[in-house]
Amino acid sequence: MENTPLSHTEQNYIKAIFKVQELTRAEAVATNDIAERLQTQPATVTDMIKRLAEKKIVTYKKYYGVRLTAKGEKIALDIIRKHRLWEVFLVSKLHFKWDEVHVIAEQLEHIHSDELIARLDDFLGHPKFDPHGDAIPDKHGNMSHSNAVPLNTMGKKQSGVFCGVANHEDRFLQYLDSLDLHLGATIYIESVNAYDASCKVKINNTHSEFFSPQIASCILVKPLYGK
């Protein structure tokens, strides 16, 4: 069983568990959280978790939750690395838009060839971040850290460089495109509404936009101090 190739479904579960662990920072994650992320039933998740536990990819204890083992984390990082490298390729070389690449990369991430991914990484110049600002693990599983913070955690008259998103939905990315807000843009907070924490920001010192707290929480910026 150790050498049996993982199915696409198993890989999707491993990646989902990793993402939930990242978000919750909990010692173990609930099957309900995994089910919600994968839009499936908790009972179905439990069946898969037991299968992954047999392969020593996760540890699972009823009423306690699930956690990836060291082996499981290595597999998850490898899948994420492939996904994000393919997104870079699709945007930078094939000129897809950033809201078009996720579904295609979901298909390409299941390719097993380590040699192909190594050559892809070389061809792209070893990028550190994908088109959405997410860090790309290197071949050892190490990732760069951007020190980004959500826009809604910053205050009036503070500036930052737009470097990522916490929401990868097509509609959200298309909305940012409609505002001419792209990675690398400078965002200056002109005002913050005391009532609902909505904010007015200036983008690239050219035009102003209003963001609700929900939208601002999904825009990740690297603060510029002393501005």
pTM above 0.85, yes or no: yes
Q: DSSP string spanning 19-32?
A: HHHHHH--SSB-HH
Alpha carbon distances (Å) from 153 to 25, 51, 113, 140, 192: 19, 41, 41, 32, 11
pLDDT at 42 over 80: yes
Residue 186 belongs to some domain of the structure: yes
Residue 117 belongs to some domain of the structure: no
Tell me what the mean pLDDT of segment 155-170 comes to. 95
Domain of 163, in residue numbers: 149-224
Single residue among 68, 89, 108 that ends a domain in this structure: 68
Single residue among 35, 68, 101 that ends a domain in this structure: 68
The pLDDT, as a whole number, for residue 2 is 52
Residue 98 belongs to some domain of the structure: no
> Are the CB atoms for 199 and 189 separated by under 8 Å?
yes
b/e string for 134-152 if b means 16 or more Cβ within 10 A? bbbbeeeeebeebebeebb
The pLDDT, as a whole number, for residue 3 is 59
Residue 106 belongs to some domain of the structure: no
Please, which pLDDT band fits residue 41 given cuts at 50, 70 and 90? very high
pLDDT at 226 over 90: no
Residue 17 belongs to some domain of the structure: yes
pLDDT at 189 over 60: yes
What's 40's domain CATH number? 1.10.10.10
Tell me what the mean pLDDT of segment 193-204 comes to. 95
User: Which are the contacts of 30, defined by CB distance < 8 A and separation ≥ 6?
Assistant: 65, 66
- Judged by phi (left if over 0) then psi (alpha if -120 to 50, else beta), residue 134 lies in beta
Rounded to whole angstroms, the Cα distance separating 16 from 79 reads: 11
Rounded to whole angstroms, the Cα distance separating 51 from 101 reads: 30
Count of alpha carbons within 13 angstroms of residue 45, beta-carbon side: 23
Give the count of domains, the chain: 2
pLDDT at 35 over 50: yes
The residue ranking higher by pLDDT, 185 or 23, is 185
Please, which pLDDT band fits residue 153 given cuts at 50, 70 and 90? very high
Residue 187 belongs to some domain of the structure: yes
Rounded to whole angstroms, the Cα distance separating 177 from 99 reads: 9
The pLDDT, as a whole number, for residue 227 is 47
What's 175's domain CATH number? 2.30.30.90
Single residue among 25, 53, 68 that ends a domain in this structure: 68
pLDDT at 174 over 90: yes
Residue 15 belongs to some domain of the structure: yes
pLDDT at 58 over 50: yes
Residue 162 belongs to some domain of the structure: yes
